[in-house]
């Protein structure tokens, strides 16, 4: 483990290291997308090498699949795997009921499909991602490119009836072009500030023509693993919070080139 890691990267690593301990030989495992999930993929690959685990993995994005394959993990499609034992993924926010905002990495559609095709979803994050109420992080909504501005206008109109504090909607860009997802859709980021009723908002958004999926994960997360820079790890599951610790200094050199 490089000694110059930022505190947030140390926290992400701690959560990832603890979460991959839940993986057992022979499992079918969903691999999330994002900077925290990248730490998890590295930790999982290390376990596979050291312990000889036989795993079948399904990635939630092209970039996760590329990283996993480069580290020797076996990647198949979800259609080939059919169903998963466990999915480990990050989150942009998580509240006390384990409701999530996801999609900062623009992979929310595949992430939600993979998570709901799993017996268990474990979410890993640095402790700062735990919030009292969702909404400070912009809510991603994946929409088809055709008529995206009309879709955005419909969303804005319907937000008037929702328990939110903001109504600003922005098309996510990649340079001077709209960002495209793996499914060639675009992302609208909803700057809502606070979401009073995530379930009602999720249902409303998915009823609007042009919306493919939204980044609210309701009743999907089973376990939340929160890492701290000093190696402390909190696990929240079934209303119970437990604490443990990960030895950050004893990590392997495979993390030296992970600059996320």
Q: Is 92 annotated as a binding residue?
A: yes
Cα 94 to Cα 77: distance, rounded to the nearest angstrom:
28
CA atoms within 13 A on the CB side of 178: 17
Whether residue 243 lies in the annotated active site? no
Q: Is 168 annotated as a binding residue?
A: no
Cα 22 to Cα 34: distance, rounded to the nearest angstrom:
20
Which residue in 111, 142, 213, 234 is the catalytic one? 111
Relative to beta strand 216-217, strand 100-101 is: antiparallel
Q: Is 34 annotated as a binding residue?
A: yes
Q: Is 107 annotated as a binding residue?
A: no
Q: Is 89 annotated as a binding residue?
A: yes
Q: Is 30 annotated as a binding residue?
A: no
Cα 246 to Cα 257: distance, rounded to the nearest angstrom:
20
Q: Is 129 annotated as a binding residue?
A: yes
Q: Is 239 annotated as a binding residue?
A: no
Cα 86 to Cα 57: distance, rounded to the nearest angstrom:
10
Phi/psi of residue 7, each to 5°? Answer: -55, -35
Residues belonging to the binding site are 33-36, 89-92, 102-105, 129
Return the active site residues. 111
Annotated binding site for substrate: 33-36, 89-92, 102-105, 129
């Amino acid at each position: 483990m490089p000694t110059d890691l930022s505190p947030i990267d140390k926290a992400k690593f701690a959560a990832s290291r603890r979460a991959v301990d839940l993986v057992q030989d022979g499992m079918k495992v969903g691999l999330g997308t994002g900077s925290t999930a990248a730490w998890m993929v590295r930790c999982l690959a290390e376990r596979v090498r050291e312990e000889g685990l036989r795993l079948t993995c399904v990635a939630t994005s092209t970039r996760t699949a590329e990283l996993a394959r480069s580290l020797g993990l076996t990647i198949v499609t979800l259609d080939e795997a059919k169903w998963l034992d466990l999915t480990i993924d990050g989150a942009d926010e998580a509240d006390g009921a384990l409701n999530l905002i996801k999609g900062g990495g623009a992979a929310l559609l595949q992430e939600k499909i993979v998570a709901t095709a799993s017996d268990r979803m474990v979410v890993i994050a640095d402790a700062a991602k735990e919030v009292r109420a969702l909404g400070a992080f912009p809510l991603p909504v994946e929409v088809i490119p055709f008529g995206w501005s009309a879709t955005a206008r419909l969303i804005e109109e319907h937000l008037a009836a929702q328990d939110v504090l903001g109504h600003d909607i922005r098309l996510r860009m990649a340079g001077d072009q709209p960002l495209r997802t793996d499914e060639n859709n675009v992302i609208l980021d909803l700057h809502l500030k606070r979401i009073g009723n995530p379930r009602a908002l999720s249902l409303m958004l998915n009823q609007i023509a042009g919306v493919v999926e939204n980044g609210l994960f309701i009743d999907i997360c089973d376990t939340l693993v929160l890492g701290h820079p000093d190696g402390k790890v909190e696990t929240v599951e079934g209303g119970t919070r437990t604490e443990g610790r990960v030895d950050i200094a004893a990590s392997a050199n495979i993390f030296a080139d992970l600059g996320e």
